[in-house]
Amino acid sequence: MSLLQVVPLGGCGEIGKNCTAVVQGEEIIVVDCGLSFPHEEQYGVDIVIPDMSWLVENKKKVKALVLTHAHEDHVGAIPYFLQILPDVPIYATPFTEALVRSKLQEKARNIEPNIKRMSFGDVISIGEMSVEPIRITHSIPETAALAIRTSHGIILFTADYKFDFSPVDKKLTNIKRFAELGEEGVLLLLSDSTNVDRKGWSLSESVVGRALEEVFAAAPGRVMVTTFSSNIHRMQQVVNAAKKTGRKVAIAGRRMDSTVALCQSMKYLDMPPAVYVKIDEIGKYAPGEVVILVTGSQGEPMAALSQMSRQEHRFLKIEEGDTILYSARPIPGNEGAIYRTVNRLIHLGAHVILEHDSPIHASGHGHQEELKMMVNLTQPFYVAPVHGEPRHQKLFERMLWDMGHVRHRIFLLANGDILNIDENKAWKAGHVRAGEILIDQAGGQEVGDRVLRERFNMAHHGVVIVAVEVDQKSGTFVGKPTLSAKGFCGEAKDLDSARAAVMDSVKGLSPAEVQDQSTLEDALCEPVRRIIGKEARQKPEVIPIILRT
Amino acid sequence: MSLLQVVPLGGCGEIGKNCTAVVQGEEIIVVDCGLSFPHEEQYGVDIVIPDMSWLVENKKKVKALVLTHAHEDHVGAIPYFLQILPDVPIYATPFTEALVRSKLQEKARNIEPNIKRMSFGDVISIGEMSVEPIRITHSIPETAALAIRTSHGIILFTADYKFDFSPVDKKLTNIKRFAELGEEGVLLLLSDSTNVDRKGWSLSESVVGRALEEVFAAAPGRVMVTTFSSNIHRMQQVVNAAKKTGRKVAIAGRRMDSTVALCQSMKYLDMPPAVYVKIDEIGKYAPGEVVILVTGSQGEPMAALSQMSRQEHRFLKIEEGDTILYSARPIPGNEGAIYRTVNRLIHLGAHVILEHDSPIHASGHGHQEELKMMVNLTQPFYVAPVHGEPRHQKLFERMLWDMGHVRHRIFLLANGDILNIDENKAWKAGHVRAGEILIDQAGGQEVGDRVLRERFNMAHHGVVIVAVEVDQKSGTFVGKPTLSAKGFCGEAKDLDSARAAVMDSVKGLSPAEVQDQSTLEDALCEPVRRIIGKEARQKPEVIPIILRT
């Protein structure tokens, strides 16, 4: 019987850009294809996608891309996936399909994806394997755990989940089905591990609804709520709370606007016409009658709330008496930008309520006891915690130990690891190429390592340009070398002494050396680096410009 | 009677670079002179100090600098203060004096400060005013609240504080004295507000001791503890726990090493010779007998722990079985760097325990109930929350409202605000120059706004250099313009079409225009910006290089 392989290309050892391949013989099923966001030092990068070159090498084997849910970290890289694997069918629940299609509409009009509808209860045959989506609760509708039947047994992807027993859309997790699979026997459980460091149970989303209602009722003026654009349940609760407290709802933020429109049209969001108001008409209502859903919960510089905090928004101005709710949790690393925004908002007279001040946010990811419950239900033979950084995967392992799980049947996978499974055992068997591709969305270009290094260096030390003019025929200089700088915080005299050093260093060059590009570049740059390093203690990017005539 | 003024130059509307002036007639007393650290986008900046130009303008009036405690955000800018006000006497408690002197030794050998010893119980006359230091508990020894007697009444600086009833050094807050001052009448209370968003009471530092002991006893191998180098009490508890659990203590990190040496010599740290081991001799002991105090609790790239995580430390290597304790709270904005370090450490096999996992850290700043207790004890007529961002100051104001404090007697000050006080009232009366000076420590230069703007732009879009050679006499070009780029993620063809556009734009120039620098610079740069913006959608810093012969 052929070997079974599981190969994560993203989402293992990180939170973001989830993408995992299940390989059986000549067939590959890919689960999710998401993006992540750059960290503070990846300058000028907009999004990060998985390196999918291994999939390209195995083009012929790839039979399907199956999606668990419509969050960016699970579907955001699909436009890039389709550029390299345009014919691969994509399986998705109706809601996920709709969001992916609208995303493709705006990002890649030229691509016509082959998306196949997937409904809970279906069992979809894909080559020798089959996929069964199972309903599970998360912060976005129609999230599907995936039971993939292989010749060696069931591989169960939990997807991102929590056990919410009072979900906003009243659609409960199919616990029974997970128990049945456990009884039948789950070979490998790939489990969400994001909140393993949080004890107990997560808050039910419906608890947030009550908290929002209280704030809306008590707020003297306008209320603004910021959350993730994809958090439909949260937005539904904002609408409900607004209705109950006699407020109108408007939306500020392009991405949120389009999501809401789509969800309304598909009846995933119930927003009565009596409640909804176009943002440019919100001024007609008294402050006490207004709720505005705004983008910017993570301090994104161009989001509506951030623009307001800088008083740069086209028409929305923060006023004394405004109440602003951060109905979201800061993603680690964003705290600085978020608090700078919050302070500006408060400075403009707003009352700001943060996630930790009152229960106005509930995580979409289950806490420790929920993760245990899933393991308990599904009784997996092998377990691999995914959707977590190493610190989460490690804690998940310790949790499994506490549960008495056999140590050698736990696998902490990194992106690119190959997990082999045969009749008798499972083992890590080397790596495939995997990693991050940094994308500059404006130009659609990839930002390479060299470019990043140069940007980092220029950001911290600036640039010094040393230019000289050469008579190529005679191999002699025309005029003297000139130096100029940008983003450089040394003094003029530092540049002067560097210039003097350059003069010395080029003086001794033979015509042949002057005619040779790299020799002359070194003769120009080395003294600049040396002198600037010694006198200004700076390490600027030094750029030689040689004009040859 | 002359007007009384309080002018914060730092520490109001921020956490960091505390510096406040108390002005009475022709006399100024400055309280503290600290630094802060740059945020993520202040590229290449090492430290931030207050703009003290207003003090320079009032040079003659400045009678004294009085220090509350030895933390960097209260004393770190003294080297710069002494450069502009070298003769001003500095008042400090013995411990603070010692740390300041050692800091000056290393940063500014040339300066011989005039530091006057200040002891609890003293009342020091400074011109018409007097200063009384009062012992209060904080995370560093000999922290002094300051009661400044003026002709209008007592101005009370709480300094950074918590009410720790079981402090490590057994030196308790002089609560009685605060109560007496309250009875006598406090005109203005300037209170720490950093932890106003934390409910209840802070943990006593001694609780941390027990938690450390438990971890040390249970850890199978080496234990490494990272905390702030200045947190002497914490280090004392690490030593105590090591002693109790039969472990030796070594120190990795220059700054921590020197602080410990100083504190030992002054008997502020009790480290028996039997416990202390030089870091380069720690290898002689079994892992289970070792505790290492390491720098890097905030993810600082060059700190010992960060170097170990990157396997770049000279001789310390992370080993399977190491236990690493983060005995510090992340400063907002540092989370990204901290978690990246933690993940690398775990990847190398270490078991990492974070501050929120168990009580291995206690804040040095009192929580809400402690802040209320101080107000309660001192019964101030006017209150100004300091040592906080606007979000903290605002919450403090709401807390005072809940306590029934009269609204118009609360002042939320920003750096540079002038608070006037006379017999009948207090009011904000305009601003003095205040702000942040960004320092590049390597070169000691100030990093200006223009440099920062250029760095930001180069970091996000790179640079494109357009160079051309001109025969100045005839005002004609020699050869063709050349373009080169760094940190630019457009494609070669983008530069080619930009180059073509430059050719077009310079073609039409008259000799006079070619001879004119700014006209020619515009003619070179404008087309590059336009074409690169259109085709590569990038906004690189465009630098013209014109060689004239």
Where residue A111 falls among pLDDT bands split at 50, 70, 90? confident
Residue B395's alpha-carbon distances to A325, B399, B412, in angstroms, are: 15, 6, 11
Residue type present at position A172: L
Where is A482: in which H helix or E strand? strand A476-486
pLDDT of residue A358: 79
Asked which of B393, B423, B440 is the last residue of a domain, the reply is B440
Alpha-carbon span A111 to B226, nearest angstrom: 52
Under the banding of pLDDT at 50, 70 and 90, the label for residue B411 is very high
Q: Which of these, B109, B110, B108, B117, lies nearest to B90 by C-alpha position?
A: B117
Q: Are B157 and B190 in contact (CB under 8 A)?
A: yes
Q: How confident is the model at residue A333 (pLDDT cuts 50, 70, 90)?
A: confident
The answer to whether residues A211 and A245 touch, using CB atoms and an 8 Å cutoff, is no
Of B369, B316, B366, which is closest to residue B345 (Cα–Cα)? Answer: B316
pLDDT tens-digit series, residues B175-186: 999 999 999 999
Q: At what angle are helices A232-244 and A254-265 packed, to 10 degrees?
A: 80
**Bridge-based pairing state of the strands B476-486 and B463-471:** antiparallel
The DSSP 8-state label assigned to residue A58 in this structure reads: T
- Whether residue A285 contacts residue A277, with contact meaning beta carbons closer than 8 Å, is answered with yes
Name the active-site residue from B74, B233, B365, B461.
Answer: B365
Q: What is the pLDDT of residues B124-161, one digit of tens each?
A: 999 999 999 999 999 999 999 999 999 999 999 999 99
Distance from C-alpha of B543 to C-alpha of B520, rounded to nearest angstrom: 12
Residues 6+ apart with CB under 8 A from A48: A16, A17, A35, A36, A37, A38, A42, A436, A437, A438, A439
Domain membership of residue A523 (yes or no) is yes
For the stretch B453-512, pLDDT in tens is: 999 999 999 999 999 999 999 999 988 899 999 999 888 899 999 999 999 999 989 999
CATH number for position B277: 3.40.50.10710
Q: Please tell me the distance in Å from B454's CA to the nearest CA on chain A.
A: 5
Q: Do A343 and B13 touch (CB under 8 A)?
A: yes
CA distance B197 to B199: 6
Helix (H, G, I), strand (E, B) or coil at B137: strand
User: Among A40, A389, A549, whose Cβ lies nearest the Cβ of B343?
Assistant: A389
In this complex, do B458 and A489 lie within 8 Å of one another by their Cβ atoms?
no
Contact B91, B104 (CB under 8 A): no
CATH number of residue A515's parent domain:
3.10.20.580
In the structure, what pLDDT confidence band is assigned to residue A443 with cuts at 50, 70 and 90?
confident
What's the burial of B383, exposed, middle or buried (CB within 10 Å: 0-12/13-18/19+)?
Answer: buried
Q: Is residue A358 assigned to a domain?
A: no
Would you say residue A1 has pLDDT above 70? no
Antiparallel, parallel or unpaired: β A19-24 and A27-31: antiparallel
Same domain, residue pair A452 and A521: yes
The alpha carbon of B232 is separated from its chain's Cα centroid by a whole number of angstroms, namely 18
* pLDDT (tens digit per residue) in A264-280: 999 999 999 999 999 99
| Residue A417 to residue A434: CA distance in whole angstroms | 9
**B49-82 pLDDT, tens digit each:** 999 999 999 999 999 999 999 999 999 999 999 9
User: Which of B541, B547, B548 would you mutate first to test chain A, the one with the most A CBs within 10 A?
Assistant: B547
Tokens read off for A531? 């002198």
Contact B409, B383 (CB under 8 A): yes
Percent of chain B's residues with pLDDT above 90: 90
How far lies B338's CA from each of A328, B332, B357, B379, B531, in Å? Answer: 21, 11, 15, 41, 41
Mark out the alpha helices in B165-204 (DSSP H runs). 175-184
Range name among A464-468, B21-25, B284-288, B488-492 with the lowest pLDDT average? B488-492
Mean of pLDDT values over A372-384 = 98
- Per-position b or e across B498-528, b if 16+ CB within 10 A of its CB: bbebbeebbeebeeeebbeeeebbebbbebb
**With contact defined as beta carbons under 8 Å apart, do B56 and B432 qualify?**
no
Q: Tell me if A164 is assigned to some domain.
A: yes
User: Which chain A positions have a beta carbon within 8 Å of B451's beta carbon?
Assistant: 462, 487-489
Q: Are residues B266 and B166 in the same domain?
A: no
User: Using an 8 Å Cβ cutoff, are A465 and A546 in contact?
Assistant: no
Q: What is the pLDDT of residue A54?
A: 98
Q: What angle do CA B316, B320, B323 make, to 5 degrees?
A: 75
Q: Does the model's ipTM exceed the 0.95 cut? A: no
Of B35, B262, B19, B16, nearest in space to B141 by CA: B262
User: If pLDDT is split at 50, 70 and 90, which confidence band does A189 have?
Assistant: very high
CB of B388 less than 8 A from some CB of A = no
- With a cut of 90, say whether residue A183 has pLDDT above it: yes
Whole-model pTM: value is 0.90
Residue B262 near residue B99 (C-beta atoms within 8 A): yes
Rounded CA-CA distance B270/B231 in Å is 14
Determine what percent of chain B is predicted with pLDDT higher than 70.
100
CB–CB contact B489 A356 (8 Å): no
DSSP character for B13? S
Looking at the fold, whether A185 and A216 belong to one and the same domain comes out as no
| pLDDT for the residue B30 | 98
Inside any domain, residue B225: yes
Residue A441, pLDDT above cutoff 90: no
A495/A488 Cα distance (integer angstroms): 10
Q: Is the pLDDT of residue B419 over 90?
A: yes
d(CA B116, CA B89): 7
User: Is the domain of A34 the same as that of A106?
Assistant: yes
Arithmetic mean of pLDDT, B214-232:
95
Task: Based on the fold, state whether residues A434 and A368 are members of the same structural domain.
Answer: yes
Q: Are strands B129-135 and B124-126 parallel, antiparallel or unpaired?
A: antiparallel
Q: How many CA atoms lie within 13 A of B76 on its CB side?
A: 21
pLDDT at B171: 96
Q: Is it the case that residue A387 has pLDDT exceeding 90? A: yes
Which of B440, B460, B490 represents a domain boundary (last residue)?
B440
Instruction: State whether B315 and B380 are in the same domain.
Output: no
Q: Contact at 8 Å (CB) between A150 and A187? A: yes
Q: In terms of DSSP H, where are the helices of B150-302?
A: 175-184, 205-218, 232-244, 254-265
A192 part of the active site: yes
Burial of residue B325 (number of CB atoms within 10 Å: 0-12, 13-18, 19+): buried
d(CA B278, CA B267): 19
Q: Give yes or no: B496 in active site.
A: no
pLDDT at A404 over 90: yes
Cα Dmax for chain B: 87
Question: Please, are residues A493 and A80 in contact by the beta-carbon 8 Å criterion?
Answer: no
Cα(B63)–Cα(B394) distance, integer angstroms = 33
**Among A398, A455, A468, which would you mutate to test the B interface (most chain B Cβ atoms within 10 Å of its Cβ)?**
A455
Q: What's the number of domains chain A is made of?
A: 3
Kindly state the helix (H) or strand (E) to which residue B343 belongs, with its residue range.
Answer: helix B335-347
A446 in reach of chain B (CB within 8 A): yes
pLDDT for position B112: 87
Q: Which of residues 490-519 of A touch B (CB under 8 A)?
A: 490-491
Mean pLDDT of chain B: 95
Domain residues for A390?
Answer: 4-200+363-440
Q: Which residue in A352, A393, A463 has the most chain B C-beta atoms within 10 A of its own C-beta, making it the best mutation to test that interface? A: A463
- pLDDT of res. A306: 97
Give CA torsion, residues B71, B73, B76, B81, to 10 deg. Answer: -130
pLDDT of res. B379: 97
DSSP letter at A444 equals T
Residues B110 and B30 in one domain: yes
Query: Using CB atoms, which residue from B335, B342, B390 is nearest to A347?
Result: B390
The dihedral through the CA atoms of B295, B296, B302, B307 has a sign that is positive
CATH code for the domain of B154: 3.60.15.10
Mean pLDDT of B289-295: 97
pLDDT in tens, A278-305: 999 999 999 999 999 999 999 999 999 9
What are the b/e assignments for A289-307, b being 16+ CB within 10 Å? bbbbbbbbbbbbeebbbbb
Give the sheet arrangement for strand B476-486, strand by strand.
Answer: B476-486, B463-471, B541-548
Q: How many whole angstroms separate alpha carbon A366 and alpha carbon A171?
A: 17
State the count of interchain CB pairs (< 8 A) between A and B: 192
When pLDDT is averaged across residues A246-267 and rounded to a whole number, the result is 93
Residues 303-342 of B with CB under 8 A from A: 332-333, 335-337, 339-340, 342
- In the numeric block, the tokens 């009036």 are attached to B61
Return the number of other C-beta atoms located less than 10 Å from residue A320's C-beta.
Answer: 11
Query: What's the rounded Cα separation, in Å, for the pair B342 and A133?
Result: 35
Quick one: pLDDT band at residue B357, thresholds 50, 70, 90? confident
The count of other CB atoms within 10 Å of the CB of residue A276 is: 15
Are A127 and A36 a contacting pair, CB within 8 Å?
no
Both B460 and B370 in one domain: the answer is no
Among the partner residues B44, B448, B538, nearest to A459 by beta-carbon distance = B44
Give domain status of residue A303, yes or no: yes
Is residue B358, in this structure, part of any structural domain at all? no
Task: Give yes or no: residues A462 and A406 share one domain.
Answer: no
**CA distances to A40, A386, B486 from B460, in Å:** 11, 32, 11
Predicted local distance difference test score (pLDDT) of residue B35:
97
Is residue B136 located within the same domain as residue B229? no
Please tell me the distance in Å from B457's CA to the nearest CA on chain A. Answer: 8
Mean pLDDT of chain A: 95
Q: Which of A339-348, A485-494, B18-27, B352-361 has the lowest mean pLDDT?
A: B352-361
Give the integer Cα–Cα distance in Å for A288 and A218.
Answer: 10
How many residues belong to chain A? Answer: 549
| End residue of a domain, out of A417, A440, A463 | A440
- B128 and B12 assigned to the same domain: yes
Same domain, A14 and A162: yes
